[in-house]
Chains A and B, each alone.
Chain A
Amino acid sequence: MNLNLDFASIIERWPTFFDGALLTLQLAFIATMLGTAIGVLGAIGRRSHHPIVSRICGIYVEAIRNTPLLVQIFLVYFGLASLGLKFSAFVVAAAALTINVGAYTTEIIRAGFDSIPRGQIEAAEGLALSRAQIYWHVVMWPAIEKVYPSLTSQFVLLMLASSVTSQISAEELTAVANYVQSDTYRAFETYILVALVYIVLSLIMRAGFWLLGLVIFPRRRRLGTPL
């Protein structure tokens, strides 16, 4: 075993790694935003009294949660292509990640909705709030506040999972690593460095969500309960 590590020639290329990390964060950001929107709509849909609506949302969640992201990415990539639509790898990657994380978010937010006591909704009805008002003020925000830690973990996992989009040559961090290691033949050093960058990115995301939590849920801060 010849231990002859050379990190310097890898770190030299930090601008490409930086670009890759930036793209990873962009993918994570887009998928988090759109995924949250899908999650809220999906959770409302799953609780709908319309059997067809709740059934469709249920099928979406189960189909995504029980198949690998890699296969989903290929399906979106080739599916769009066979429809004659040509998009950049970045758009396809963002779309596939959004569809994926939307299903997990739906399930988490639905659990939050289910945790709102029936009495709260009845009280709101007693105060003559409209259905939309009840959903917004009594169900949605308290529910999201309750499941906020789970959502945070899910979105960090999503950021890590975005590495899989390197397989359709989206130029994110892992794809950059593959390129650098094939250029330098320093695979071990490259992937160790990239693993460290991912760890830093996940710490950044956790810190960001923690700060965001302080801003959007001021009640928690006042009560002094930990996030």
Chain B
Amino acid sequence: MGGTLNANHLMFLGYGALWTIGLSLIGLLGGGIAGFIIALCRISPNRIVRLLSAGYVQLIQGTPLLVIMFLTYFGLPTLGVTVSPLTAASASLTIYVGAYLGEIWRGSIESVPRPQWEAAEGLALSRSQRMMKVILPQAIRIATPPTVGFMVQIIKNTSLASVVGFVELARSGQIINNSLFEPFLIYTIIAGIYFALCYPISRISRRLETRSGPARLSLGTA
């Protein structure tokens, strides 16, 4: 204990912030791939695939990310699979983000007007051609504002990786606080850094929303 906040501490916070960004990108990439697969499964012509993917989304959206983190980090070792904090955090974020992005993207795909599907079918395009050439290019435009909005949720949710000991921004704040014990100052700085990361993305998301018609509220609390 003792000492005052100095440049080394701020450097340490800087590294933490970099890991927050890195983990967010991992979550976005992993969750994006998972979400894309889920979105396609949710609109699959196969009833069982649709039911299974809907069940997955319901399960994950009804479970806190924190519990998923604990399950992967503490639960898997009891089954004999040891995971590092980074692996546990990445896997949890992928599972969690995949469910939410999957729902967002399913909504976007389904809001491509019906005649577009029918016209593509009338042109004798195969199902994959219809998807790739007609539906997805339009769905991406609809999906962009809510996806950018959800990126803010991903960044904030990476703070929960601190509970499994992964040293990102929140955890590096806790570590510094353990030696300096100036919680209010340190957590204010941490909150400020998170704000600096998230606020620009929120602004971009809102601008995209107003440009592309009716605003959709992105939910979240994390």
Q: Which of B31-39, B63-71, B134-142 contacts A (4 or more CB under 8 A)?
A: B63-71
B78 within 8 A of A: yes
Query: Using a CB-CB cutoff of 8 Å, which residues 51-94 of chain A contact chain B?
Result: 62-63, 65-72, 74-75, 77-79, 81-82
Decide: A71 and B62 in contact? CB cutoff 8 A: no
Say yes or no: A164 contacts B66, CB within 8 Å. Answer: yes
- Contact across chains for B217 and A150 when beta carbons are under 8 A apart: yes
A125 to B92, CA, bound (A): 53
- Chain A, residues 146-174, CB within 8 Å of chain B (1/0): the string is 00001001100110110110110000001
CA distance A191 to B77 in the complex (A): 13
Residue A227 at the chain B interface, CB threshold 8 Å: no
A107 and B170 contact, CB distance less than 8 A = no
Bound-state Cα–Cα, A192 to B159, Å: 22
Q: A67, B156: Cβ atoms under 8 Å?
A: yes
- Whether A62 pairs with B156 at a CB distance below 8 angstroms is no
CB pair A67 B59 closer than 8 Å: no
Chain B contacts for A43, CB-based, 8 A: none
A158 with B78: in contact, given A66-B198, A71-B170, A71-B194 (CB under 8 Å)? Answer: no
A133 within 8 A of B: no
Q: Is the CB of A177 closer than 8 A to any CB of chain B?
A: yes
Contact with B along A1-30 (1 / 0, CB 8 A): 111000000000000000000000000000
B:157-210 near A, CB below 8 Å: 157, 159-160, 162-163, 170, 173, 183-184, 187-188, 190-191, 194-195, 198-199, 202
Q: Are B190 and A71 in contact (CB under 8 A)?
A: yes
With CB as the reference atom, state the residue of chain B lying closest to A75. Answer: B187
Complex interface bits, A185-214 against B, C-beta within 8 A gives 1, otherwise 0: 111111110110011001100000000000
Interface residues on A, range: 35 or more
Cα–Cα distance between A181 and B77 once the two chains are bound (Å): 12
Dominant secondary structure of chain B at its interface with chain A: helix
What residue of chain B has the Cβ atom nearest to residue A2's Cβ?
A: B80
Q: Does B123 contact A (CB under 8 A)?
A: no
B79 and A1 contact, CB distance less than 8 A: yes
- Asked if B159 and A199 sit within 8 Å, CB to CB, the answer is no
Chain A residue at minimal CB-CB distance from B73: A187
Find out whether the CB atom of A75 lies under 8 angstroms from the CB atom of B184. Answer: yes
Q: Which chain A residues border B183 with CB–CB below 8 Å?
A: 74, 77-78, 81-82
Assembled-state Cα–Cα distance A3/B70 (Å):
19
A189 contact set on B, CB distance < 8 A: 78
- Say whether A166 contacts B66, CB under 8 Å: yes
Size band of the interface chain B makes with A:
35 or more
Known pairs A68-B156, A187-B75; A198 contacts B221 (CB<8 A): no
B64 touching A163 by the CB < 8 A rule? yes
Establish whether residues B219 and A154, one from each chain, have CB atoms under 8 Å apart when the complex forms: yes
User: Do B75 and A68 touch across chains, with their CB atoms under 8 A apart?
Assistant: no
B23 CB contacts on chain A under 8 angstroms: none
Knowing A177-B70, A178-B70 touch, does A70 contact B64 (C-beta < 8 A)? Answer: no
How far apart sit A186 and B78, CA to CA, in the bound complex (Å)? Answer: 7
**Given A174-B66, A195-B71, A202-B62, do A188 and B191 touch, yes or no (CB 8 Å)?**
no
* Interface residues, chain B, with chain A CB atoms under 8 Å away: 58-59, 61-64, 66-68, 70-71, 74-81, 152, 156-157, 159-160, 162-163, 170, 173, 183-184, 187-188, 190-191, 194-195, 198-199, 202, 215, 217, 219-222
26 A-B pairs whose Cβ atoms sit less than 8 Å apart in the complex: A2-B79, A2-B80, A63-B191, A65-B220, A66-B198, A68-B170, A69-B222, A70-B160, A70-B222, A71-B159, A71-B190, A75-B191, A100-B221, A111-B217, A157-B221, A160-B221, A163-B67, A164-B64, A164-B66, A164-B160, A166-B66, A174-B64, A177-B67, A187-B77, A198-B63, A198-B64
Interface residues of A (CB under 8 A from B): 1-3, 62-63, 65-72, 74-75, 77-79, 81-82, 100-101, 104, 107-108, 111, 150, 153-154, 157-158, 160-161, 163-164, 166-167, 174, 177-178, 181, 185-192, 194-195, 198-199, 202-203
